[in-house]
Amino acid sequence: MKTASPITAVVLALGLGSVAAYAGEIETEHLFAFLVGTDVGDLGDREIEGGTTARVGKPAGFYSALSQTLSLEYTPTQNLRLEATAAAARHDIVGVPQLDDRRQTAFEGLSFEMRYRLLDRANAPFGLAIKAEPHWGRIDETSGEPADRYGVDLVLAADKEIVPNRVVAAFNLLYLPEILRSGITGAWSREATIGAATALMAQVRSGIFVGAEARYLRSYEGLGLDRFEGHALFLGPTVHAKLSERSWMTLGWSFQVAGRSVEDTGSLDLTNFERHQAILKFGVNF
């Protein structure tokens, strides 16, 4: 996957050009917006995390889907982090092809994440971790219609400090299979998304990071990638701030710069994905 060299140059200039005093070791547990880092926190860490994800823009009409999450995280043993999450969703859909108009707020579902660090950057050339997040949902993520959703997000994550305590790069491989039963027709469907993502973050002030993330996603019908549905390339900026010794915030915006759907001849895939995606996350250790 190609990355945008102008954005990379800006990030490096911000990171390497600053003369401010820097914080200690970089922690990638919450550093990225849409990617996964390999750090899992210290043994015994407990944290409450909140997040809002926005997905906006379809081929026509008005489309907005917001997901609000509340999570409890715990590191019970070295290199293992557990996280339980509950989510609510808000859909505002008017005049979008193949989707019913809808304005609703509903309970979205539950998930449980397990992240295990295989390699620690402190003792290896790079960090390496795996993430498995099974989830259950009671509405369709795109349309907001009643549904039973069962799936698991699988991620292989790697990260490396390009400049110690200054610049860090990350790479993710994704496989996101899901089974859905419509609450209206009772019909079952199976789909999967695969992809790769990369990020570069630079510490420009003590505890303040800026950077960019790029994601390439491919959508398929069937868990075994039976039929190609479309693909999209997302690119956008990310900011992370350590607010205090116990709190942090991460903000990311990602816009679709290229793509194609098998159902449309346009230059973007707005059938399987959205034009814009944004995320705001914050957490507090206790």
Segment 253-276, tens digit of pLDDT: 999 999 999 988 788 999 999 999
Domain count of the fold of the chain: 1
What tens digit of pLDDT does each residue of 180-229 get?
A: 999 999 999 999 999 999 999 999 999 999 999 999 999 999 999 999 99
Judge whether 47 and 73 are in contact, CB under 8 Å. yes
The arithmetic mean of pLDDT across residues 1-22, rounded, is: 42
Which pLDDT band, with edges at 50, 70 and 90, does 283 fall under?
Answer: very high
φ, ψ dihedrals at 92, nearest 5°: -130, 105
Mean pLDDT of 84-105: 97
- Nearest CA to 65 among 103, 107, 100, 18? 103
Q: What is the CATH number of the domain that holds 17?
A: 2.40.160.40
3-state secondary structure of 24: coil
The Cα 280–Cα 286 span in angstroms is 20
Which residue's structure tokens are 């050339």?
A: 125
Supply 170's token pair: 């990350």
State the pLDDT at residue 266.
82
Rounded to the nearest integer, the mean pLDDT of the chain is 92
- Which residue, 199, 153, 160, is CA-closest to 176? 153
Give the dihedral of Cα atoms 71, 211, 8, 236; nearest 10 deg. Answer: 60
pLDDT level of residue 231 (50, 70, 90 thresholds): very high
Q: Provide the percentage of residues in the chain whose pLDDT is more than 70.
A: 92
Which residues, 6+ apart, have CB-to-CB distance to 90 below 8 Å?
64, 65, 66, 67, 68, 104, 105
User: DSSP letters along 176-207, please?
Assistant: EEEEEEETTT--EEEEEEEEEEEEEEEEEETT
Contact 229, 262 (CB under 8 A): yes
Q: Distance between CA atoms of 200 and 196, rounded to whole angstroms?
A: 14
pTM of the model: 0.90
By residue range, what is the domain housing residue 277? Answer: 5-285
Please state, as a whole number, how many other Cβ atoms lie within 10 Å of the Cβ of residue 176.
Answer: 18
Sign of the four-CA dihedral 233, 5, 120, 53: negative
pLDDT digits (tens, 9 = 90+) for 14-56: 444 443 444 557 999 999 999 999 999 999 999 999 999 999 9
| β-bridge mates for residue 194, sequence order | 175, 218
For position 25, what pLDDT does the model report?
79
CB 220 within 8 A of CB 227: yes
With 90 as the cut, is the pLDDT of residue 115 above it? yes
| pLDDT value, residue 191 | 98
* pLDDT at residue 9 greater than cutoff 70: no
Residue-level pLDDT at 263? 86
